[in-house]
Amino acid sequence: MAEIIVPELAESITEGTIAQWLKQPGDTVEKGEFIVELETDKVNVEVISEEAGVVSELLAAEGDTVQVGQVIAVVGAGSGSTASAPAPAAQSEAKEEVKATEAPKTPVAEETTNEQDRTIASPAARKLAREKGINLSEISPVDPMGRVRVQDVSAHGSAPTTTKAAPPSAASATKEDDGRTTREKMSRRRQTIASRLLEVRQNTAMLTTFNEIDMTNVMALRSRKKDKFFEDHDVRLGFMSFFTKAVVAALKKYPYVNSQIDGTDIVKNNFYDIGIAVSTEGGLVVPIVRDADRKNFSEIEANIGELAKKARDNKLALSDMSGGSFTITNGGVFGSLMSTPILNGTQVGILGMHTIQKRPVAIGNEIEIRPMMYVALSYDHRVIDGKDSVGFLKTVKELLENPEDLLLES
């Protein structure tokens, strides 16, 4: 017999959520084969079985929060079926079928069973509800997210048999029934993103300074070089490599922007691991371009392309996302003209790029139409003063308006 245990995920991650069971009770599993997918606030992690055998028991259901080191399944000896087991929603009932020593289940109407299956509940709560003969769908949980826990079952079971949960108000019933609203449980990643963004706003002295960049020269350079660049390096020349190199040069000039706070200390980073925000269906993730100061344009573009593909395919590893020193986010790809980016984790600076828009600007005594981009630097004022923040953004602007200088400065 072998236990499937939630592995160490990362230094700052102590729990995850069962996203999907890849094996069901009765299924054969080979040594090293994936058995479950865990969702953390950063990435999804597939857990393997260390032994070959048959899945005999699942100790957590999809949607349950599990801790590092927790036993979530048991693999026994023997051979079983590779056919698909009961649907994920009926995992708790599937457990009963593989336990020969337990009493047979009392037949229930199919409609009642489906209602219970759709109810989000911890394995312990399901077990207690079965023992007490309580229908999970009749329980009113305390959890605002709607998850039924053991204490909810206990409270329901101790109430008089004539007592029922209060029916929903006429207003809420009408909203649910007429289709005017749709209730959707937030994914674990979305909950964590929300929590961390709120934490950043509450625990930092965040300010934002803005500037605008005339993209004429960098666009002209890119237009001249992109075909030869692709021919030589088999990767497309985009704007992100220019911005990354400009950011590295500015960070070297203003090192406090490349730092973080640790208690009463300011820790200045002597490395340049630049996070590039990527939007995925599950939310925003920030994979890291390591040692961006040591990479040339083609290496940066290739690195960004690889990380973006892994993000879209949900294949990012925790090592791809940990330890960044500064972040770049590009709302311009969605058409954003101007925004205030929020700091990423313990970093004290983040650069926001925006859409390129042709606007009339004064060039000497003449008015010309130029491709302009607003850029924003959000920073932690506890570490960075206005002089450094404005100087940093001005350096980025000047380098991008004179892109040949990037070869010398970065």
Written as six digits, the tokens of 340 are 């205030």
Q: Where in the chain is the domain with CATH 2.40.50.100?
A: 2-167
CA distances from 312 to 289, 300, 301 (A): 16, 18, 16
Selection from 2, 20, 36, 25 nearest residue 83 by Cα: 25
Q: Which pLDDT score, from 0 to 100, does residue 143 have?
A: 59
Alpha-carbon torsion (294, 321, 323, 192), positive or negative: positive
Q: Which pLDDT score, from 0 to 100, does residue 163 have?
A: 43
Q: Does domain 2-167 have CATH number 2.40.50.100?
A: yes
**CA 169/CA 186 separation, integer angstroms:** 24
Residue with tokens 């630097």: 377
First to last CA, the chain: 57
Q: Which 3-state string (H, E, C) describes 216-263?
A: HHHHHHHHHHHHHHHHHHCCCCCHHHHHHHHHHHHHHHCHHHHEEEEC
**CB atoms < 10 A from the CB of 216, how many?**
15
Q: Which pLDDT score, from 0 to 100, does residue 118 have?
A: 57
CB 29 within 8 A of CB 75: yes
**CA 395/CA 255 separation, integer angstroms:** 13
Strands, sheet with 71-76, edge to edge from the N-terminal-most edge strand:
2-5, 71-76, 53-58, 28-29
Q: Which pLDDT score, from 0 to 100, does residue 291 have?
A: 96
Would you call 197 helix, strand, or coil by DSSP? helix
Q: Where in the chain is the domain with CATH 3.30.559.10?
A: 190-409
**CA 261/CA 402 separation, integer angstroms:** 33
Selection from 138, 197, 191 nearest residue 166 by Cα: 138
Region class of 339: left (phi > 0), else alpha (psi between -120 and 50), else beta: beta
User: Would the pTM count as exceeding 0.75?
Assistant: no
**CA 251/CA 268 separation, integer angstroms:** 11
Written as six digits, the tokens of 48 are 């393997």
CB 291 within 8 A of CB 270: no
CATH class label, 190-409 = alpha beta
**CA 345/CA 200 separation, integer angstroms:** 7
**CA 248/CA 272 separation, integer angstroms:** 7
**CA 393/CA 100 separation, integer angstroms:** 68
381 given a catalytic annotation? yes
**What is the mean pLDDT for each group of 10 consecutive residues in the chain (410 residues)?**
83 78 91 88 81 92 89 82 43 42 43 55 69 81 64 66 48 63 81 81 92 97 95 95 97 96 92 93 88 96 94 85 93 92 92 97 95 98 95 97 81
Residues in contact with 254: Cβ distance below 8 Å, sequence separation at least 6, in sequence order: 384, 388, 391, 392, 395
Residue with tokens 């009770």: 25
156 given a catalytic annotation? no
Would you call 213 helix, strand, or coil by DSSP? strand
Residue 103 CA neighbour count, 13 Å, CB half: 6
Q: Which pLDDT score, from 0 to 100, does residue 327 have?
A: 97
Selection from 228, 256, 245, 329 nearest residue 287 by Cα: 329
Would you call 92 helix, strand, or coil by DSSP? helix
Q: Which of 143, 227, 232, 385 is catalytic?
A: 385
Q: Which pLDDT score, from 0 to 100, does residue 172 have?
A: 53
Cα-to-chain-centroid distance, residue 165: 36
Residue with tokens 């925006």: 354
